[in-house]
Amino acid sequence: MTDDLNAPLGVDSQQETKRRLPMLPLVPIAAGVVGALVLGMAGAIAFIHNPLGGEPRAVTAIAAPAPRTAVATPQQAVAAAPAARPAEPEGPTVNIIDGMSGTARSVRIAASPQESAAGLDPRLNERTALGILPRVAPDGSRPRDVYARTFRLPAGADATAPRIAILIGGLGISQQSTSEALSKLPGAVSFAFAPYASDLDRIVARARADGHEAFLQIPMEPMDYPDNDPGPQTLLTTLSSERNTERLHWAMARFQGYVGLVNYMGAKFTATESAVTPILREANRRGLMMIDDGTSARSLIPQIATVLQQPVLRGDIHLDRVPTPTEVDTQLGRLEARARERGFALGVGSALPVTIDRVARWARELEGRGFVLVPVSNGVARRQPAG
């Protein structure tokens, strides 16, 4: 027997060689089997077309259709019929002309669920490329009348008591300030919404549901523009009347249900007759009133609106030029004095936390001091436009 311990390294013994020789044919046999399997799979892929190969699949049973039930009798059908749905609100009427025959027919468009829920009148809507604009309805109804808040004197109130209206502007931009105004201020306080906020339709709908009258603020060029910039789509004295009207329409289409327009800034624009006149004419044509916030003594809005026979009102007291509790309270006192003197006064403020808080406190005690808080439209109806 060969001594394996004394054999040279790397040289197999004869016994080991004899043990391994029978295993050598297994290697090519295994390789051949693997190769055959690979070739078989390749052939299957090449000759079997399955576009869903590899995709996950689910198998389900298709149940046979259920047998038809017997037809109900007319009496049974009537008994099982659901309650009749309320009639859809009527929308605007449009004329459709057949291009082949030339015949025309009128079709009434139903109001959308959103319009119905928000108390909007579809007759006052004009659909444009920019969105829905206000308009005078075919029957003569105007947004300034339909969307004005109905006012009734509180029980036991003196009909001759001096009246005060409050208009709070800048609503919709700050979510917190808007929420505070909605929760703290009474419904007789009117709101003016800037056109830049998102989700304005929902916010305005909630405000109107709570009794607040809605106005739209229009950004207008101040004296120090562009150092003091009201925002995108500002009406400018350097633009043509057509361009400014396009910007006006952009703002008008931001939400629906407002009574009229209010200038936002605009000391230069409102003092330029050639610039502001087309804007007031367009607003009047669409059935809207105009409010001058009273911040510029040079504004021509009251005079031009009077010539156009457009309802207009100018603010008497600016409540928060200095936004401190003491100053706001002082201006509210001045507003009461003006109302006692003239029978009506309009106070204009911004949606600042201090203004909302002080006006809310003041309004709770107003009736006890012999005043009546009214929406802005009520003051427009009572006061003759300034000449």
C-alpha atoms less than 13 angstroms from C-alpha of 80 in its C-beta half-sphere: 7
Percent of the chain with pLDDT over 70: 68
Residue 255 reports pLDDT greater than 60: yes
pLDDT digits (tens, 9 = 90+) for 109-135: 444 444 444 689 999 999 999 999 999
Higher pLDDT: 291 or 198? It is 291
Alpha helices in 253-318 (DSSP H): 267-270, 273-285, 301-307
User: What is the third-level CATH fold of 162-382?
Assistant: TIM Barrel (3.20.20)
- Could you tell me the two tokens for 374? 């009214």
Q: What is the pLDDT of residue 97?
A: 40
Out of 84-98, 164-178, 304-318, 324-338, pick the least confident. 84-98
Burial bucket for residue 304 (CB in 10 Å: 0-12, 13-18, 19+): buried
Out of 1-5, 84-88, 111-115, 380-384, pick the least confident. 84-88
pLDDT digits (tens, 9 = 90+) for 313-338: 999 999 999 999 999 999 999 999 99
For 350, the enclosing helix (H) or strand (E) is strand 344-350
What is the rounded distance in angstroms from the CA atom of residue 100 to the CA atom of residue 264?
50
Show me where the domains of the chain are located.
162-382
Residue with token string 């208009």: 167
Residue 164 main-chain phi, psi, to 5 deg: -130, 135
Query: Do 196 and 230 touch, CB atoms closer than 8 A?
Result: no
Higher pLDDT: 71 or 204? It is 204
Beta bridge partners of 261: 216, 290
